[in-house]
């Protein structure tokens, strides 16, 4: 089992570049795999999760050509020649690893195929609820069979003659929205999803990029059946969810300045910037749009952070950043409250329980609620043994907490980081070594917190 040992922060590097966006990389591989020609994907995230999606599309008949490897990260450029709308049956089950996005979105595509496919995953993925996609896909005419009441993996999706539906999402989930829209591409007529709260819209944007017609009317998103994606090269921006770790590290360090290059700035994902600004961080960014997704450099100036309240319609926009924002709360003055985040209970692990448990190990007082937590900021953090529960975002959030703790923080089970951020340990090293930065390094120390 991989272990990362973290000591106190020594530097904030002047700049850092994070790997490609996970949500966009998954979708790029899926749409390219269903397209009518060859798509070159640049800036691809070669994490275990996204590689599961590429392998799945390859198993289903797409052709994959590796084009460029980045040292310490992996395959960042590849070409996929799509199989078109009619994929080829897989021989044996498709392994989705740890990736909920692979299993849920792929189920939408498989609902439109005339053969059965079995999807399997690791222990964590096999515990996650697939009923949320099984319900609408069955309503459309597919057969989705899984284990128990939650319809967990192994999951067998048998596609059928689908019909369009009008579906009100019972929870704010981009994965469920996307599964229904993907299935809608195979159902004659207009399939509509109604969102209770806006969620990330990468599927909609990538449909436009690949020439698939859809429309939005308020909270109703519709797609027309019978469309084949048109192959078109795409450049994936850096992942703001990965950038968030370094944003918090810099934001909580008075005197620090960091530029994070070429980060995706889709408005359904930038909630982490809004929350950190509210906590008193100084953040600026520039923005351009390419291949349908806004992107740009983010500059963070560090200072003292103040507590905040995170909840309501903001939650889907920060859902993956809540573990690191909880760490920011621990570093801030006052009590930070996170509510309406029940979805955290069904992520790669129960992230409310995992964050509360590990923060307590570091000396922080945390009150846990069914849908969130209250974190008393300002205590001096103590190095501790962190249990990741196999969850990449728990591992990385507590590596950042370790930068602010007395003594050594030991992240056990750190191999899970590979599911979303290959190269994280290298990048963390830039914060731990005096001579790591590529430009003049700002040697900073954290000003004492009044409560600390
Ligand atoms: C994702 C959507 C979110 C997010 C996950 C990726 C996506 O999940 O937590 O990491 O790519 O659509 P939900 O839609 O289930 O909330």
Query: What is residue 421's predicted lDDT score, i.e. its pLDDT?
Result: 98
Q: Smallest Cα–Cα separation from 247: which of 431, 90, 114?
A: 431
Helix (H) or strand (E) holding 194: strand 190-194
Asked about 320 being catalytic, the answer comes back as: yes
Residues near 218 by beta carbon (within 8 Å), at least 6 away in sequence: none
Q: Could you give the CA distance from residue 248 to residue 328 in angstroms, rounded to a whole number?
A: 6
More confident residue, 443 or 158: 158
Q: What is the DSSP letter of 238?
A: B
Output the six-digit token pair for 393.
């975002």
Q: Return the ligand 1 atom nearest residue 22 CA.
A: 11
Q: 2-31 pLDDT, tens per residue?
A: 999 999 999 999 999 999 999 999 999 999
Q: 393-440 pLDDT, tens per residue?
A: 999 999 999 999 999 999 999 999 999 999 999 999 999 997 544 333
Assess whether pLDDT exceeds 90 at residue 443.
no
Query: What is residue 439's predicted lDDT score, i.e. its pLDDT?
Result: 38
Interval 204-217 mean pLDDT: 98
DSSP reduced 3-state for 120: strand
pLDDT band at 236 (very low <50, low <70, confident <90, very high): very high
Residue entry with tokens 């084949």: 228
Residue entry with tokens 């103590």: 382
Evaluate: CB of 343 within 6 angstroms of ligand 1.
Answer: yes
pLDDT band at 448 (very low <50, low <70, confident <90, very high): very low
Output the six-digit token pair for 403.
């930068």
What is the set of domains in the chain, with CATH numbers?
Answer: 3-19+237-433 (3.65.10.10), 22-224 (3.65.10.10)
Query: What is residue 1's predicted lDDT score, i.e. its pLDDT?
Result: 75
Q: Smallest Cα–Cα separation from 344: which of 336, 335, 355, 358?
A: 355
Measured in whole angstroms, the distance separating CA 270 from the mean position of its chain's CA atoms is 12
Evaluate: CB of 240 within 6 angstroms of ligand 1.
Answer: no
Evaluate: CB of 175 within 6 angstroms of ligand 1.
Answer: yes
Q: Could you give the CA distance from residue 70 to residue 259 in angstroms, rounded to a whole number?
A: 21
Evaluate: CB of 174 within 6 angstroms of ligand 1.
Answer: yes
Q: 341 alpha carbon to ligand 1 midpoint, in Å? A: 13
DSSP reduced 3-state for 48: helix
Query: What is residue 435's predicted lDDT score, i.e. its pLDDT?
Result: 54
Q: Could you give the CA distance from residue 89 to residue 92 in angstroms, rounded to a whole number?
A: 9
Assess whether pLDDT exceeds 80 at residue 445.
no
Q: Could you give the CA distance from residue 247 to residue 88 in angstroms, rounded to a whole number?
A: 43
Mutate to test the pocket of ligand 1, among 197, 199, 319 (most ligand atoms within 8 A of CB): 319
Q: Could you give the CA distance from residue 79 to residue 41 in angstroms, rounded to a whole number?
A: 6
The percent of residues above 90 in pLDDT, for the chain, comes to: 95
Q: 5 alpha carbon to ligand 1 midpoint, in Å? A: 29
DSSP string over 246-308: HHHHHHTSTT-EEEEEEEE--TTTTHHHHHHHHTT-EEEE--EEETTEEEEEEEEE----B--
The answer to whether 54 touches 31, Cβ cutoff 8 Å, is no
Q: 380 alpha carbon to ligand 1 midpoint, in Å? A: 33
pLDDT band at 160 (very low <50, low <70, confident <90, very high): confident
Output the six-digit token pair for 378.
């300002």
How many other CB atoms sit within 10 Å of the CB of residue 353?
A: 14
Residue nearest to atom 10 of ligand 1 (CA): 320
The vertex-243 CA angle with 397 and 54, nearest 5°, equals 95
Query: What is residue 451's predicted lDDT score, i.e. its pLDDT?
Result: 34
Evaluate: CB of 173 within 6 angstroms of ligand 1.
Answer: yes
The vertex-371 CA angle with 327 and 198, nearest 5°, equals 90
Q: Could you give the CA distance from residue 229 to residue 211 in angstroms, rounded to a whole number?
A: 6
Query: What is residue 374's predicted lDDT score, i.e. its pLDDT?
Result: 99
Q: Could you give the CA distance from residue 144 to residue 176 in angstroms, rounded to a whole number?
A: 14
DSSP reduced 3-state for 5: strand
Evaluate: CB of 101 within 6 angstroms of ligand 1.
Answer: yes
Q: 390 alpha carbon to ligand 1 midpoint, in Å? A: 17
Query: What is residue 437's predicted lDDT score, i.e. its pLDDT?
Result: 43
Average pLDDT, the chain: 95
Query: What is residue 444's predicted lDDT score, i.e. its pLDDT?
Result: 37
Evaluate: CB of 129 within 6 angstroms of ligand 1.
Answer: no
Query: What is residue 181's predicted lDDT score, i.e. its pLDDT?
Result: 99
Q: 256-306 pLDDT, tens per residue?
A: 999 999 999 999 999 999 999 999 999 999 899 999 999 999 999 999 999
Given the residues 122, 291, 320, 391, the one annotated as active site? 320
Output the six-digit token pair for 205.
């944007």
Residue nearest to atom 11 of ligand 1 (CA): 23
pLDDT band at 94 (very low <50, low <70, confident <90, very high): very high
DSSP string over 196-257: SS----HHHHHHHHTT--EEEETTEEEEESS--PPP--EEPPBPHHHHHHHHHHHHTSTT-E
- Whether the bond between 447 and the residue before it is cis, its omega within 30 degrees of 0, is no
Q: 177 alpha carbon to ligand 1 midpoint, in Å? A: 10
Q: 447 alpha carbon to ligand 1 midpoint, in Å? A: 36
Q: 347-405 pLDDT, tens per residue?
A: 999 999 999 999 999 999 999 999 999 999 999 999 999 999 999 999 999 999 999 99
């Amino acid at each position: 089992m991989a272990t990362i040992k973290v000591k106190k922060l020594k530097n904030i590097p002047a700049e850092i570049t994070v790997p490609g966006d996970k949500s966009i990389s998954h979708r790029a591989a899926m749409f390219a795999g269903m397209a009518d020609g060859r798509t070159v994907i640049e800036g691809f995230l070669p994490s275990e999760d996204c590689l599961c999606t590429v392998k799945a599309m390859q198993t289903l008949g797409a052709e994959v050509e590796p084009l460029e490897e980045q040292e310490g990260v992996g395959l960042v450029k590849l070409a996929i020649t799509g199989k078109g709308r009619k994929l080829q049956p897989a021989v044996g089950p498709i392994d989705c690893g740890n990736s909920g996005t692979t299993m849920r979105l792929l189920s939408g595509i498989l609902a439109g195929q005339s053969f059965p496919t079995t999807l399997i995953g690791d222990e964590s993925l096999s515990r996650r609820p697939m009923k949320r996609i099984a319900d609408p896909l069955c309503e459309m005419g597919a057969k989705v069979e899984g284990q128990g009441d939650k319809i967990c993996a192994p999951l067998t999706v048998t596609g059928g003659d689908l019909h369009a539906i009008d579906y009100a999402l019972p929870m704010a989930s981009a994965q469920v929205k996307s599964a229904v829209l993907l299935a809608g591409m195979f159902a004659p007529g207009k399939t509509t999803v109604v969102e209770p709260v806006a969620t990330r819209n990468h599927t909609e944007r990538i449909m436009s990029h690949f020439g698939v017609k859809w429309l939005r009317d308020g909270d109703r998103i519709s797609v027309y059946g019978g469309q084949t994606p048109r192959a078109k090269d795409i450049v994936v921006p850096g992942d703001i969810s990965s950038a968030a770790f370094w944003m918090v590290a810099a934001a909580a360090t008075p005197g620090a300045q960091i530029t994070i290059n070429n980060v995706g700035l889709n408005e359904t994902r930038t909630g982490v910037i809004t929350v950190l600004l509210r906590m008193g961080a100084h953040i600026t960014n520039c923005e351009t749009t390419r291949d349908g997704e806004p992107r740009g450099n983010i500059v963070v100036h560090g200072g003292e952070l103040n507590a905040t309240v995170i909840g309501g319609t903001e939650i889907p926009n920060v859902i993956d950043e809540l573990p690191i924002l909880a760490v920011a709360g621990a570093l801030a003055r006052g009590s930070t409250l996170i509510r309406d985040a029940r979805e955290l209970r069904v992520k790669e692990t129960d992230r409310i329980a995992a964050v509360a448990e590990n923060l307590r190990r570091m000396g922080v007082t945390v009150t846990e609620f069914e849908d969130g937590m209250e974190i008393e900021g300002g205590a001096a953090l103590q190095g501790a043994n962190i249990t990741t529960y196999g969850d990449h975002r728990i591992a990385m959030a507590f590596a950042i907490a370790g930068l602010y703790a007395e003594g050594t923080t030991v992240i056990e089970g750190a191999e899970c980081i590979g599911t979303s951020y290959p190269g994280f340990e290298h990048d963390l090293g830039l914060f731990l070594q005096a001579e790591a930065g590529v430009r003049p390094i700002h040697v900073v120390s954290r000003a004492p917190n009044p409560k600390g």
